[in-house]
Amino acid sequence: MNTTMINSSTASIPSQPLANYDPVVEQRVQQWLASGQLLAWIPILSQENFPDVPPQILRFANQHQEAMRWPIHRPEDLLALPDGITGWLLPADADDTDVACGVWNGEVYVLGVEDKRTGKKQTLLGERFDIATGQADDPEQREL
């Protein structure tokens, strides 16, 4: 994953420079936050996020992903996200995103998501990992 943190000067959230800083992702999230629009955070249901949950349970829960939208009204709401869980971040009226967000030890991180093996961008609705195996889906083979 390419990572960046939300800039504290505009979002009032603690930050620090990261090695894999992605200014395009940060700028997009800063624009969302500055606009005052409602955002949504949706947990990414993966073995990486939930190592103790059986894959079949994650697959079942993933079918109800829309119901798991966590509203983000202002930047400070990001600090209330569950620690150590990465989720998708998007405007509440959007269907897809390539931005993920998580909180680790009180620090908010914004992530551009890529397949670790291929380097291809991952999105909420597009190409992504198989929950059970961690393998990337083939978009033509996936059930909708």
Residue with the bigger pLDDT between 31 and 125: it is 31
pTM, two decimal places: 0.72
| Segments of 54-119 assigned E as strands | 70-72, 87-91, 99-104, 107-112
Asked if the model's pLDDT at residue 8 lies above 50, the reply is no
- Measured in Å, how far apart are the chain's first and last C-alpha atoms? 25
Of residues 3 and 74, the one with the higher pLDDT is 74
Band of pLDDT at residue 113, cut at 50, 70 and 90: confident
Q: How confident is the model at residue 43, as a pLDDT? A: 92
- State pLDDT tens for residues 64-81: 887 889 999 999 999 999
Q: Where are the domains of the chain?
A: 2-112
SS3 55: helix
| Tens-digit pLDDT profile for residues 17-27 | 444 557 788 88
What mean pLDDT is reported for the chain? Answer: 77
Contact 71, 77 (CB under 8 A): yes
- Integer angstrom CA distances of residue 41 from 23, 54, 64, 99: 20, 23, 14, 10
Q: What is the pLDDT of residue 127?
A: 59
Indicate the residue type of 33. L
10 pLDDT exceeds 70?
A: no
- Sorting pLDDT into bands at 50, 70 and 90, what band is 115? confident
